[in-house]
Amino acid sequence: MKLAFERVFLRALALVLLAAAPAGHPAAWLNQAAGSARPLAVVTTSTDLKALVEAVGGDRVQVESLAPPLHDPHAVEVKPGQLAKLKAAALLVRIGLDHEPWLSRVLRSVNDPRFVRGSPHDLDTSKGIQLLQAETPRVRGERGVHVHSFGNPHYWLDPENGRPMTEEILEALARLSPPHRSQFEGNRNRFIEQLDARLARWSQAMAPYRGTRVVVVHETWPYFAQRFGLVVVAAVEPTPGVPPSPSSLAALTQKMREAGVKLLVAEPYSNASVVSQVAARSGARPVTLVPSVGGDPEARDYLGLFDLNIKRLTATLASTR
């Protein structure tokens, strides 16, 4: 009697396990079959996505970012070791739109059907985002350069977007590792609580500067600006990713002087001579904001990224008054 019960129980258990097995790849299956022992291998296209996957996945994920933090995100060289990690990964997480023009080449060389769009092993976090500048028609550049053709892809820089992004990440991780769903939910809830608390603090710090007009080097900051009440009046790059000509620089700096624009927002990888020329000719004060986690030692995680940027911004804004 006891033996028969055990047989039935074991058969039922096997059926449950089979039903829970992710379609497709043996690596993902091994990942899950190892259950509690092995974390899910995840590859992301940016350090920001890595930070968000870690916030939700905790010790259940092992995450590698293909792009380093202080690199122009439009041009990334992926190393052979990273290709191997992508081949072994259970999940690829990307920003989507045309943010990663280099990714299609990488995926071609990996040639793994698990990473086709719509597969449970591929997550594009742009799906749940209300895009900005999506109405601006842009000419797609040659060789698939990043020109914001489908709307502005720098949406992780509105901390409110950390909410839908972690929601998508939670669902993707739970699909691949169903026994850990409640752990992922607990991690995400804690992350959202902290995000809400910091958001209140950041908004309060920025409140005195709402409506401040700024010029940016690259159109990295529309989501950030909208959240914190800055008004981006122009970009130094006439088209995203395209350096300005001397005549467009002259026209821009004259307009900045006339309009009294006091702040110029640059990135750590912006062309330093262009930034100093614009600042000197316009009289605006330059501030370098960090667009990605790890781009500065203080920007250790997603919340730390905003802590640092709000601190730099408010310090510079206070000095321009």
- Please give the radius of gyration of the chain, using alpha carbons only, rounded to the nearest integer: 23
CB of 148 to Zn ion, least distance (A): 6
Angle, in degrees to the nearest 10, between helices 302-319 and 181-206: 0
> Nearer to Zn ion by C-beta: 58 or 101?
101
> Nearer to Zn ion by C-beta: 235 or 284?
235
Alpha helices in 229-288 (DSSP H): 246-259, 272-282
> Nearer to Zn ion by C-beta: 240 or 295?
240
Query: What is the binding site for Zn ion (CB under 5 A)?
Result: 240
> Nearer to Zn ion by C-beta: 40 or 97?
97
CB of 146 to Zn ion, least distance (A): 6
CB of 81 to Zn ion, least distance (A): 27
> Nearer to Zn ion by C-beta: 151 or 162?
151
C-alpha to C-alpha distance for 63 and 42, rounded to whole angstroms: 5
> Nearer to Zn ion by C-beta: 39 or 151?
151
* φ, ψ of residue 89 in degrees (nearest 5): -80, 150
Cα 23 to its chain centre, rounded Å, is 27
CB of 156 to Zn ion, least distance (A): 12
CB of 124 to Zn ion, least distance (A): 16
CB of 62 to Zn ion, least distance (A): 28
Q: How is residue 233 written in tokens?
A: 């009046």
| Cβ neighbours of residue 168 closer than 8 Å, sequence gap 6 or more | 123, 125, 127, 128
Closest residue to bound Zn ion by CB = 240
Residues forming beta bridges with residue 263, ordered by sequence position:
214, 285
C-alpha to C-alpha distance for 240 and 229, rounded to whole angstroms: 22
